[in-house]
Copies of this chain bind each other. A is one copy, B any other.
Amino acid sequence: MDMRPIGVFDSGLGGLTAVRALRQILPEEQLIYFGDTARVPYGGRSRETILKYARQDVRFLRSFDLKAILIACGTVTTTSLETLQAENPLPIVGVVEPTCRRALLVTKNKKVGIIATLASIRSGAYEAVLRRLDPSVEVLGKPCPLFVPLVENGRFRPGDVVIETVAREYLEPLKAAGIDTLILGCTHYPLLTEIIRDVMGPEVTLVSAGEESAFELKRLLKAGGLRAEEGAHCGGADFYVSDQPEDFERIASVFLQENIRYAARRIDIDQY
């Protein structure tokens, strides 16, 4: 039994969807979330810059005595996961491999789609892992660069012509190509589940990156004897950001899908 907290970080607040999944899957665990809101988004930056930022994020989180870290950021996972794992003596889980394993488990026709930010799709990281795990899989990647700003501006609800138009443009080519499994490869996308399901239809299974990472982390903690006492109490969560978003409570409530009334604490990430 290990009551130390789990660290979770992302380039911004989107990673809070992973916090939501962790709370459902590991309700007893204490969580410490860091969102690098001063430097969001990471996606367009160079590999060196992303690694530099990711190292600072991990150094900040490790200023607490943690038992594990979940990287809720696809960009950091695809560029820096192995380096961070080599440099830090605690379990670190990314978002890519658990998600790919799940997608390969559920696909029947071996045609898997992946939607993510432009940087993630260009990195080819999901595709590389899918092919390593199963060389016979056919992968169709599609960047959806407007999904993040639309979600952050509250446009994720069915009936909104803006999100529905953009979603149809992005997703119809994937549907036409006959995929039976679609990876939601960005922290923001779980909020678009209903919109995406409306376009893709019931025959396509959606696999959400944050949720699969939370299951992977649960397996790792169990295997290492690192779980908190189960059923004993409900673990809380502390939120840190590198720049105070004016409406943290509103945005955080959207991603966590519950009303939160506490503010995030601001830290100076340049000092880490």
Question: In the complex the two chains form, is B146's CB within 8 Å of A244's CB?
Answer: no
Which B residues lie within 8 Å of A176 (CB)? none
Q: Within 8 Å of chain B (Cβ to Cβ): is A166?
A: yes
Q: A41-49, A55-63, A106-114: which lies at the B interface?
A: A41-49
Copies in the complex: 2
* A145 sits at the interface (CB 8 A): yes
Is residue A263 within 8 Å, beta carbon to beta carbon, of the partner chain? Answer: no
Contact yes or no, B153 A246, CB < 8 A: no
Are B149 and A243 in contact, with the CB atoms below 8 A? no
**A148–B153 alpha-carbon span in the complex (Å):** 12
Of residues 70 through 91 on chain A, the ones whose CB sits less than 8 Å from some CB of chain B are none
Range of interface residues on A (Cβ < 8 Å): 20 to 34
Contact partner, A246, options B44, B152, B155, B165, Cβ 8 Å: B44
Q: In whole angstroms, how far apart are the Cα atoms of A8 and B46 in the complex? A: 23
Q: Would you give the 0/1 interface string for A212-244, flagging 1 where the beta carbon is closer than 8 Å to chain B?
A: 000000000000000000000000000000011
A132 to B161, CA, bound (A): 41
With the chains together, A166 CA to B165 CA distance in Å? Answer: 12
Interface bits A140-152 vs B (CB < 8 Å: 1, else 0):
0000011011101
Chain B neighbourhood of A166, CB < 8 A: 162
Task: Say yes or no: is A197 at the interface (Cβ < 8 Å to chain B).
Answer: no
Q: Which 9 A-B pairs have the closest CB atoms?
A: A149-B149, A44-B243, A162-B165, A162-B162, A46-B243, A146-B153, A45-B243, A145-B153, A161-B165
